[in-house]
Structures are given as C-alpha cells and as structure tokens.
Amino acid sequence: MNRHLFTLTAAFLVGLPVPFTRAQTCPPAPPLNDQTKKVETEGAIGQFLKLTGLKVNFKIDAEKKAILKDYPNADQLVVILTTMNIYCTAVMSDTSLTGAQKLNLLRESYEELKIVRAAGPQAIATTAASKRDSAPPLPEELIEKRSEWDIRRHFIYAAAVSGNDIVYVSNEKPSWADIYLNPLPIVITDKNKYFVIVGSASNELEGRRRMSDLKAKNPKYDFELFAPYGTNKNYGIMMASWVSPERAREALKEAKKVERKSFIWTCRRTGDAC
C-alpha cells in the first residue's frame, strides 16, 4: 500500500523553493484500508501531533520508533504520511510565515519524519494492481474537518476532543493486497511480523512463473514473490506479508484452498530487524 506516495511526498518537501512557495496544497494523506488498524493508527498520529509545532527545534526522530512500538497494530505508513500532511497543511496556511520559512520548516519535518524501514524480507514482484500505490484526494468535507487544529498550540488535534476521525478510511472495498500484502514496516512489532507462504522456488524466474500461475488459477487473491532472506536460499511466494497474527490466520484459511501445504512464518525478532 502507498509504496510510491512517500516518494512523491519527499519530492514535494525538498523541491525547488520557487515552485514550493507557490503551492497551495500538500500531498494528500493516504487512506486506511484495514479498519482493524484504525484505533491504533489514530492513537499514534495523536502522539506525533503532540510533539510537533511551528518551531525551529522540530525534533521527534528519537521518539518516532518509540511511538510506533507503543501502537503495534497501527498502519505505520498512514501514521507518518498523515502526520506529514497535517503538519504541511498547517505550515502552508500560516500567513505569518514567509515562503522561505515554510520551506525550511517542511524540510526539517521531512528529515524528522522520513521513513527508514526495518531490515527484513522484501517483495521483489507482485500480482497486485498498481492503483494501490497511490492515494485518492480527500473528500472536501473531510478536508474541512482535518483543518480544525490550533496552529499556535502545537497542533493538538481538535478531533481528539470532538471525536472526528483523523484518518481517512477508504469507502471502496479493499483488495486482497490492501489487507494482506503490506510493505516492509518502519518498526517490526508483534502485530506486523507474520507471513503466509504458499510456495517457493529455487530461483527468481521460477518464482515469478509460479506466482503468475497461482494468480491465473486464483484471480480473487494476490501474491508476492520474496527474495531469499537470512539463511534461507529459496524465493518465497506469499499470500500474506507483514500482517498481524489474526490476519495471518484469516489468510491461511484461504491459502489452504490454493495450496494445502501453506503455512504461517514469522520473524523471530521485533524492532529494527526481523
């Protein structure tokens, strides 16, 4: 989910000053596709917002991983990119700041909030549709709700009091990949370290062929091919990646219909490396 959106966000924040100062909007916050992650995702965003503000010393990198560990079931990409969106929008709307000041603040926030992923198994090919890599713009009524913060008081988000949603939950039916095939996380937790393996291959070409065959025979599912990791020399074909134990069990039930020998695999460690 949203694999390319962060690249677009980064490009926006570190772009040339002249185009930037003319910009009236910020990159949109991505939608949350998995409803089960909503509570912890909003909780983590709330903690980030308590630490941000229009100030010179924007320093929250040290707290970033601690917050994500405290909310192990949060959608980490949504947390970071939504925080970026809220901060960016607030900076852009402050008429007391010059264009250069806004640029400096957003460059600083980018450095503090930039995504550095943990070390772990990575997908090298997928059958998922490319449309899941981008986020639609927020509905106008949600944009209005999302602007209800107090710039002068370090962005204590008004939704915490009013009960409005912080994250945009997609109204569209999520695809299999939206829920069960996730990108490498920033912090590995007990709620995102599970995989469902439906097959393996001795080389990449064979793995891609087998993955394509599985998709052709089971079009309602999606699959990803993972490169060898650690001491494992084989390529793995996944029906679920970087999911919670609950989601892994759900995916396994379906995976058994595809390949009866499917099984759950999990990272042995949490934190910065699998």
Q: What confidence tens digit (pLDDT) does each residue in 12-35 have?
A: 444 433 344 334 467 778 889 999
Residues 247 and 179: beta-carbon distance below 8 Å: yes
pLDDT digits (tens, 9 = 90+) for 66-121: 999 999 999 999 999 888 888 888 888 888 888 888 888 888 888 888 888 999 99
Angle between helices 38-51 and 61-70 in degrees, nearest 10: 160
Higher pLDDT, 52 or 112: 112
What CATH code would you report for 176-266?
Answer: 3.30.70.1070
User: Is pLDDT at 157 greater than 70 in this prediction?
Assistant: no
User: Is pLDDT at 58 greater than 80 in this prediction?
Assistant: no
271 confidence band (pLDDT: 50, 70, 90): very high
User: Is pLDDT at 1 greater than 50 in this prediction?
Assistant: no
228 confidence band (pLDDT: 50, 70, 90): very high
Block residue for tokens 């007990």: 190
User: What is the reported pLDDT for 92?
Assistant: 85
User: What is the reported pLDDT for 194?
Assistant: 98
Residues 225 and 241: beta-carbon distance below 8 Å: no
User: What is the reported pLDDT for 53?
Assistant: 62
User: What is the reported pLDDT for 168?
Assistant: 74
User: What is the reported pLDDT for 10?
Assistant: 43
Residues 195 and 184: beta-carbon distance below 8 Å: no
User: What is the reported pLDDT for 6?
Assistant: 40
User: What is the reported pLDDT for 144?
Assistant: 40
**106: nearest Cα among 22, 8, 12:** 12
**In the chain, where the domains are located:** 5-116+136-162, 176-266
User: What is the reported pLDDT for 27?
Assistant: 72
Mean pLDDT value across the chain: 79
167 confidence band (pLDDT: 50, 70, 90): confident
Alpha helices in the chain (DSSP H): 5-13, 17-22, 38-51, 61-70, 76-93, 99-113, 140-146, 159-162, 176-180, 204-217, 245-258
How far apart, in whole angstroms, are the C-alpha atoms of residue 112 and residue 212?
A: 40
Higher pLDDT, 136 or 226: 226
Strand partners, 119: 273
User: Is pLDDT at 208 greater than 90 in this prediction?
Assistant: yes
3-state secondary structure of 75: coil
User: Is pLDDT at 5 greater than 80 in this prediction?
Assistant: no
